[in-house]
Structure 1
Amino acid sequence: MSLKPAVSKTDHAQGNLDADLVIVEYGDYQCPYCGAAYPVLKELMKEFGSQIKFVFRNFPLSEMHQYARPAALAAEAANLQGKFWEMHDAIYENQQDLNENFLMKLAEKLKLNIPQFEKDLESTELANKVDADFESGIVSGVNGTPSFFVNGKKFDGGAENLLELVRENVK
C-alpha cells in the first residue's frame, strides 16, 4: 500500500525537511504500542535527524482509547501556537497520566495561551484536520497503530525494525 495523500506542507514534520528519506507515522496518543515506539523514534531522530524528514499523522482509535482524540486535538491546538512537537512529546512521555485534565496541565506547562488553547480545542477546523489524517490512514491501508510509511510505501514492522533498516542503509 502507498501513502495517500503524499506528504505536504499541512503535515507536521521534523528533522531535515528536505531529506530524501521520509518516514511517516500514523499514531494514536493513547496506544501503548505507539508509546513504546516513541523512545525508539526519538533515538532514530537523534542519530539520523539530519538525514530524515519525520512526519506524524493522527490516527486516534477512539473506540478503544477514549483520550486518543482529545490528545490529538490538544496537539493540533498546540500547533497553532507553534508547539506541536513539544505537546506530542509531552503526551507520549506521560502517556500513563493521559486524560483531559492532564492535557490542560501540559498546555500550561508549555506556556500556551490557555483561553486560546481552549477555544481551539473546540474548533471544527482542528476536528477536520484530525479526521483528514485518519481518513488518509484508512485509504493508505493503516489498520493499527503505530503504522509507518517509508518514502510513501507501507513499512511492515515496528519502530525497532525501522531503526535497524535506517542504520543499515544510511551511512
Structure 2
Amino acid sequence: MSLMSKLLMSTVAATVALSANAQPDNKLLLKYVKKAVVKNPEVKVKGVTVLESKTDERLPGWTILLTTMDLEYQKKEIHAPETMFVKDGLVTGHLVDLKTGNDYRDNIKPSVPQSYYNDDHLLFGNKDAEHKILIFSDPQCPFCQELVPEIFNTAKENPTKIAVYYYHLPLLRIHPVSDVLTRVMHVAQHEGKMDIVEKIYSLKINPRETDMTKILSAVKTQTGYSVTAAQVNAKEVKEAMKADEIAAGKMMVSGTPTIYIDGKWDKMRNGHKNLIK
C-alpha cells in the first residue's frame, strides 16, 4: 500500500449530503474530506482547492470536481489530488460502471492550463507548432525510457507539427538517483543542450545511487556532458524542480509518463503517432 493510500483511505461508499446545488462551497468540501476521505487521524486537513469543475457526457447530471487537498503529516506539507463527483446534494470519490467495472476517477484528468506551455519548458519543436505535447516524466522510469525518446524524435523530425513541453517528475521513492539526474537535465536544457536531456534517458546507473560525485561522473563518461555540483545545487535549479512538482500536483499527476496532447490526457500514450499521418 502506498503512503498516499495510508494517508487517505477513501472508499467507494463514502458519500455525504452537501447542498442542493451542484457546486458546494469550500466549507462543505472540507467537511467531506475530513469525514470521508482522510481516515488517518495523524493527517491534518488544512484546505481543499478546486482546480477545475467539469462535466462528462458519460455521467449525465454529475459535476466533476478536480481538487487538491492541502494536508499536513508529520510536520510535512502534502498536496494530494482528489476527484469528487457531485449530484443532487451528494458527493462521492468513486463512480463505478457495474457493467464494465470502470471507475471514472481513473479516466478523468484536469485540462492543461495555457500557462504550462511556456518557453522554459519547451524542449523540442517550434512553439507555434500545430500540436502541443506536454510530458511529465522520470528518466529512470522504464516506461519513460521506452516511450519518451520516441516522442522527442517525432518532434525533432516534425518541428512545425509538434512541440514538446517537458516537466520533471522524479519518482524518488523508486529512483533516488533521479533527484540529481533531473537537475542535470534542467541545467543542460537551459544551456541549450537538448541532446543531453535525451541522452540521460539511456544512462546506465544504479537507480538507488545518491552519491552526487558518482552520478555526475557517470553523466560525463556516458554523455560527454560536464556539470558541477554547484550548478546542480543552485537555488534556481531546486526552485524549478519544486515548481514542476507543484505543476504535477495541480494536474493530478501521480505516475510517469503522463502525457497530454493539445491539452487532453493521452491515456494510451500513443497519440503522438496520429499527429504525423
TM-score by length of structure 1 reads 0.81
Show the counterpart of 1:33. Answer: 143
Aligned match of 1:7: 117
Partner Cα separation in structure 2 for residue 23 and residue 135 of structure 1? 19
**Which residue in the other structure is 1:118 paired with?**
229
1:54-73 equivalent positions in 2, closer than 5 A? 54-73=164-183
Secondary structure at the aligned position of 2:259 is classed as strand
CA distance in 1, matches of 2:261, 2:124: 15
Q: Higher strand share goes to which structure?
A: 2
Write the distance in 2 (CA, Å) between the matches of 1:103 and 1:69.
12
- The alpha carbon displacement at 1:7 in A equals 1.1
Q: Distance in 2 between matches of 1:105 and 1:95?
A: 8
Q: Distance in 1 between matches of 2:126 and 2:158?
A: 9
8 Å CA contact retained: 1:13, 1:53:
yes
Partner secondary structure for residue 132 of structure 2: strand
Which residue, 193, 196, 199 being the options, matches 1:87?
196
Sort the Cα spacing of 1:153 and 1:71 in 2 relative to 1 into closer, same or farther, 3 A: same
Which of 9, 17, 23 is the equivalent residue of 2:127?
17
| Worse overlay, 49-58 or 6-15 | 6-15
Indicate which of 100, 103, 112 corresponds to 2:216. Answer: 103
Compare 7-16 and 102-111 and name the one that shifted more: 102-111
Distance 1:89 1:153, change over 3 A: same
Instruction: Tell me: CA distance 1:76–1:104, structure 2 relative to 1, closer, same or farther (3 Å).
Output: farther
Deviation, 1:97, is: 6.0
Distance 1:107 1:53, change over 3 A: same
Question: Residue 36 of structure 1 aligns to a residue in which SS?
Answer: helix
Q: What amino acid does structure 2 have at the position aligned with 1:34?
A: C
Aligned-partner SS, 1:10? helix
Which structure: greater helix fraction?
1
User: What's the CA shift for 1:64?
Assistant: 1.4
CA spacing shift, 1:79–1:139, aligned 2, 3 Å: same
CA gap of 1:7–1:140, structure 2 versus 1, over 3 A, is same
Give the Å deviation of 1:52: 0.8
After TM superposition, the structure 1 stretch with the greater mean CA deviation from structure 2, 9-18 or 55-64, is 9-18
Structure 1 SS opposite 2:217 = helix
Percent identity over paired residues? 21
Q: Report the Cα offset of residue 19 of structure 1.
A: 0.9
Question: CA distance change for structure 1 residues 81 and 167 in 2, over 3 Å: closer, same or farther?
Answer: closer
2:119 counterpart SS class:
coil
Write the mapping of 1:130-149 to structure 2, written as runs, cut at 5 A.
130-149=241-260
**Equivalent residue number for residue 45 of structure 2:** none
Gapped runs of 5+ residues in structure 1? none
Question: Do 2:123 and 2:165's aligned partners in 1 also have CA atoms closer than 8 Å?
Answer: yes
CA distance in 2, matches of 1:126, 1:22: 25
User: Which of the pair has more CA radius of gyration?
Assistant: 2
Q: 1:141 to 1:95 in 2, by over 3 A?
A: farther
1:111, CA displacement in angstroms?
4.8
Tell me the equivalent position of 2:36: none
Secondary structure of the corresponding residue to residue 54 of structure 1? strand
Q: Normalized against structure 2, the TM-score is what?
A: 0.52
